[in-house]
Amino acid sequence: MAWIVLVISGVLEAVWATALGKSEGMSRPWPTAVFTVGLLTSMAGLAYALRDIPVGTGYAVWVAIGASLTAAYAMAFGGESATPLRVLLLLGLVGCVVGLKLTSH
């Protein structure tokens, strides 16, 4: 259950990071509200998951999920370039996260 919560929390990290970018310095109410709810929910899920998952592994997985999804979203919808090298590097990050999961106890 902790791993499922951790993955969902990682997805929520991408939500709050994207909303923060769209909030224009927290001057836009809706993106700011999404940022706040996403941040609090993501952190609560991370805290819950870290009760059963080692902190180093859990935090690395959480960050990697959020960073990968945020970057992928920005490439798909935010105007950031999606070069083959950038996509390959993101896939490498995901591969490292899978490796952390497979080697954790």
Share of the chain above pLDDT 70, in %: 98
Amino acid code (one letter) for 59: Y
**What single-letter DSSP state applies at residue 28?**
S
Structural domains of the chain, count = 1
pLDDT, tens digit, 9 for 90 and up, residues 53-93: 999 889 999 999 999 999 999 999 988 999 999 999 999 99
Give the pLDDT confidence score for residue 22 in this predicted structure: 94
Structural domain boundaries enclosing 49: 2-103
Question: Which one has a higher pLDDT value, 96 or 11?
Answer: 11
Give the pLDDT confidence score for residue 28 in this predicted structure: 97
Q: What angle do CA 33, 36, 42 make, to 5 degrees?
A: 135
Dihedral sign, Cα of residue 96, residue 99, residue 101, residue 104: negative
Q: What is the pTM of this model?
A: 0.87
104: exposed, middle or buried (Cβ count in 10 Å: 0-12, 13-18, 19+): middle
- pLDDT for 102 beyond 70: yes
Two tokens at 3?
């791993």
Q: Are 41 and 60 in contact (CB under 8 A)?
A: no
Q: 62 vs 42, 67, 83, 90, 97, CA distance in Å?
A: 9, 9, 24, 14, 9
Two tokens at 49?
């998951």
Average pLDDT, the chain: 93
Give the pLDDT confidence score for residue 32 in this predicted structure: 97
